[in-house]
Amino acid sequence: MEHIDFSLVDWSRAQFALTAMYHWLFVPLTLGLSFIVAFMETKYVRTGNPEWKRITKFWMTLFGINFAIGVATGIILEFEFGTNWSNYSWFVGDIFGAPLAIEGIMAFFMESTFIAIMFFGWNKVGKKFHLASTWLVAIGSNLSALWILVANAWMQNPVGMKFNPDTARNEMVNFWEVLFSPVAIDKFTHTILSGYVLASIFVIGISAWFLLKNREHVFAKKSIRLATIFGLISAVLIAITGDNSAKMVAKHQPMKFAAIENLYHGEANAPLTAIGMLQQSNEPAKHDFVFKIQIPGMLSFLAFNNTDAFVPGIYDLLNGNPEHNILSYKERCEKGKIAITSLGEYKTAKKSGNDSLAKAALIRFEENYPHFGYGYYADRDLTELVPNVPVNFYSFRIMVGLGFYFILFFAIILFFALKDKLQNKRFLLYTALWTIPLAYIAAELGWVVAEVGRQPWLIQDILPTIASVSQVTPASVQITFWLFFVIFTGLLIAEIKIMLTQIRKGPENAAEVTQNSQIN
């Protein structure tokens, strides 16, 4: 890969990571808050209590602020596939583009159609029609996430496609296999549940602030009860989907799984490292433990529902393990190189009209295509195929630890909220307020594990990052990186300021809401 400018690859990765991480600061709150607002308005319509209308309109305003800025970062994110990753877009555009197109046509259309009614139709349409619009915005927001996450899941586990050697592109052959693959289902459910957890913590934390300031007690207590129930259910479900996701990673991305566990030598009855600290190492693929607390057999059970199952380690995948039918990466690189060479021979033979030679080359290509991406590393240091172990190891454990903390947090908050004693627990109220940033950290770390753990692949085993970038100058990517950094930071600061202003202002005056309800 002498023709690859690795500074271009690094800057392209950095720009996409920057955009994605900023975008994910806005998306989870949109996903969760949309449903929380819908539940609140449902309470208003069912009870006729104008206090629920006050509550709904307040949180709806915060949802609108966050939604608008999230859309801006999302549009830029999708454009980067064409500007920075054009080789990738060419190679799999027929597949990856389909979910994104559906997202734009169906889900985003649903959001944009009904969001105007949701915000400006309070006194212009009936209660039930307005409620339906609010629910359709919530459903549309989550449908947007569905199609994007299906596309991402396909990159982690490419299914439902066939490579066309004449066009050198992957083409979709089974849309439903792409949509309903187990990886896609787990990716979608786990990700949107993380948004529900974050939004619930956001509502609880802001409501706790009102209680700390001795303001809007009824508003805060009702908001906390609803958000806590929604959050507790979501937090329990996210633990279940997380377990399923781990099994999918063990099955389809064993190197990512080994990196997450800092597992170098595979073993049966493999222990799970619950807590550990890694030594610094000059070797890219070796990090010893300073200390560790392990649960015997749990890693094998987590991966394969069997404590006696063999879990391959990093060295098993790098060097091979014939006993467990694991090819070494060197063998896979050789097969991948054959696939790349055979593809070139096929196209040359087709062009010259030599059908027999083309047929033989095509057979060799198809036999070795599962290893296609490894061919790009045939003459490189194979440790480049090992993702960053410390980043994955620590990110995963912090994320999981916070997940269990959130379950405990919701349970304690709900206990005191139901007993109507929460306003007297100032330490707990402050804890709720400072749990908000922890929810954002957990959400971001989930994506760090998913994407850093996948490296160096853009499409698992088929297309590496180094073969996916656009042929542009590194300087142009650097300029846009810093431009986006300034813009996104400005947007984030603007959102925080607008949010804080709206929060300090508080919900509408109760008398005004009652009057508007009577008019409606």
Query: Quick one: 27 and 161 in the same domain?
Result: yes
Q: What is the pLDDT of residue 115?
A: 84
Query: Quick one: 168 and 126 in the same domain?
Result: yes
Q: What is the pLDDT of residue 517?
A: 47
Q: What is the pLDDT of residue 1?
A: 44
Q: What is the pLDDT of residue 283?
A: 65
Tell me the residue range of the domain where 203 lies: 7-253+387-510
Query: Quick one: 136 and 234 in the same domain?
Result: yes
Query: Quick one: 413 and 490 in the same domain?
Result: yes
Angle between helices 254-261 and 217-252 (to 10 degrees): 120
Query: Which residues does 109 contact at the CB level (< 8 Å), separation at least 6?
Result: 140
Q: How far apart are CA 291 and CA 277, in angstroms?
A: 6
Query: Which residues does 358 contact at the CB level (< 8 Å), separation at least 6?
Result: 346, 349, 350
Question: Is residue 305 in some structural domain?
Answer: yes
Last residue of a domain, one of 382, 400, 424: 382
Question: Is residue 265 in some structural domain?
Answer: yes
Query: Quick one: 342 and 272 in the same domain?
Result: no
Query: Quick one: 369 and 446 in the same domain?
Result: no
Query: Quick one: 450 and 416 in the same domain?
Result: yes
Question: Is residue 282 in some structural domain?
Answer: yes
Question: In this predicted model, what pLDDT tens digit does every residue of 359-398 receive, in sequence order?
Answer: 999 999 999 999 999 999 988 888 889 999 999 999 999 9
Exposed (0-12), middle (13-18) or buried (19+): which is 106, by Cβ within 10 Å?
A: middle
Q: What is the pLDDT of residue 59?
A: 94
Q: What is the pLDDT of residue 510?
A: 57
Query: Quick one: 213 and 270 in the same domain?
Result: no
Q: What is the pLDDT of residue 165?
A: 87
Place of tokens 């300031």: 213
Residues of the chain with pLDDT under 50: 1, 515, 517-520
Question: Is residue 515 in some structural domain?
Answer: no
Query: Which residues does 130 contact at the CB level (< 8 Å), separation at least 6?
Result: 41, 117, 118, 121, 122
Q: What is the pLDDT of residue 285?
A: 61
Question: Is residue 429 in some structural domain?
Answer: yes
Q: How far apart are CA 55 and CA 248, in angstroms?
A: 40
Last residue of a domain, one of 362, 382, 402: 382
Angle between helices 50-83 and 86-102 (to 10 degrees): 150
pTM: predicted TM-score of the whole model, two decimal places: 0.90
- Report how many domains make up the chain: 3
Query: Which residues does 353 contact at the CB level (< 8 Å), separation at least 6?
Result: none
Question: Is residue 2 in some structural domain?
Answer: no
Q: What is the pLDDT of residue 123?
A: 84
Question: Is residue 519 in some structural domain?
Answer: no
Q: What is the pLDDT of residue 95?
A: 81
Question: Is residue 520 in some structural domain?
Answer: no
Query: Quick one: 64 and 209 in the same domain?
Result: yes
Question: In this predicted model, what pLDDT tens digit does every residue of 36-95 receive, in sequence order?
Answer: 999 999 999 999 899 999 999 999 999 988 887 877 777 787 778 778 888 888 888 778
Query: Quick one: 393 and 501 in the same domain?
Result: yes
Question: In this predicted model, what pLDDT tens digit does every residue of 229-281 receive, in sequence order?
Answer: 999 999 999 999 988 899 999 999 999 999 999 999 999 999 999 898 888 77
Query: Quick check: 195 and 443 in contact, CB under 8 A?
Result: yes
Query: Quick one: 350 and 405 in the same domain?
Result: no
Query: Quick one: 154 and 15 in the same domain?
Result: yes
